[in-house]
Structure 1
Amino acid sequence: MLPAANRLRKKSDFAIALSGRKINSKSFQLFLHRSLENAPPKAGLIVAKSVGNSVVRHRVARKLRHAISPMLRSLPEGSLLVARAFPQSAADISSTQLRDEFEIALKKALA
C-alpha cells in the first residue's frame, strides 16, 4: 500500500500527471510530471474495466502498487506519477516481470 502522503487522489492531480512525460511499456503506460514544488512525490493508478473483472483489476492494481512503492524514494520532490494498465497484458504478467518493466520505464522517464 502506498503511504497516504504519496497517493494521488484528486482528478486535477491525475490530469496534471497525464500531461507529463509518457513512457509506453508492454503492460502499462507511465506518466511522469516533474514539478518545482517542495512536496513528496505522489503516485496513482488507472486500471480500467477493460483490464478485466474486479478480481483481475484489483490483482493488477496490487501488482502495480508493489512495483511503485520501493521506487517512490528515487523520484524527485514534487513529482506526480501515474501508471495506466493495458488490457490483458497487465493481467497475465508476473509480479517480478512487472517490477522489472516498471524499473526500466521509470529510468527512461527520469532520463
Structure 2
Amino acid sequence: MLPTENRLRRRQDFGEAVRRGRRAGRPLLVVHLRRDATDPHAPGGGSPPARAGFVVSKAVGNAVQRNLVRRRLRHLVRERLSLLPPGSLVVVRALPDAGSADHAQLALDLDAALQRLLGRDARGDAEGRVAR
C-alpha cells in the first residue's frame, strides 16, 4: 500500500501528469511523469513528496485481474518512490496485456519506463547544455 501522502487522488492531478508530463510506453504499461508539480492544496513547508496514481481499465480483465494488477503496480511503485524527484506526479496506466503478466514482467517494464523518463534529463545535461 502506498502511504497517504504519496497517492494521487484528484482528477486534476491525473490530468496534469498525463497532459503536461512526459510519457514512456512499454508493452505492458505506459508511465507518465510530471516533474516538480506543485500542489496548491499541500500544507506549506518543505518540498512535497512524489505522488503516484494508477489507471487499470476493463480492457485488462475482470475486476479480480484489474485489482491484482493495481496491487502489484502499487507495490512496485512504493519500492521506487525514492527514485522519483520530490513533487513529481506519476501515473501508471496498465495496458491489456498486463492482466496476464506476472510481477517480474511488470517490474521490468516499470523499471525500463522510469529509467527512460528519469535518465533522459541526466544525459541531456551531460551532453553540454548550457544552464542559464
TM-score for the superposition, normalised by structure 1: 0.94
User: Which residue of the other structure, out of 96, 101, 106, is the alignment partner of 1:93?
Assistant: 101
Offset of residue 100 of structure 1:
1.6
Give the match for residue 127 of structure 2.
Answer: none
**Partner amino acid, structure 2, of 1:16:** E
Structure number with greater Rg is 2
Unmatched tracts of structure 1, length 5 or more: none
Give yes or no for the alignment of 1:31 onto 2:32: yes
Matches within 5 A, 1:28-107: 28-35=29-36, 37=38, 38-87=47-96, 89-107=97-115
Give yes or no for the alignment of 1:13 onto 2:9: no
Identity among equivalent pairs (%): 41
Runs of 4+ in 1 over 3 A off after TM superposition: none
The count of aligned residue pairs is 110
Q: CA offsets, 1:29-57, max 9 Å, x none? A: 00000016421000000001121111010
SS across alignment from 2:112: helix
Offset of residue 64 of structure 1:
0.8
Unmatched tracts of structure 2, length 5 or more: 39-46, 120-132
Give the match for residue 116 of structure 2.
Answer: 108
Q: CA RMSD in A?
A: 1.0
After alignment, is 61-70 or 25-34 more displaced? Answer: 61-70
Q: 1:36 to 1:11 in 2, by over 3 A?
A: closer
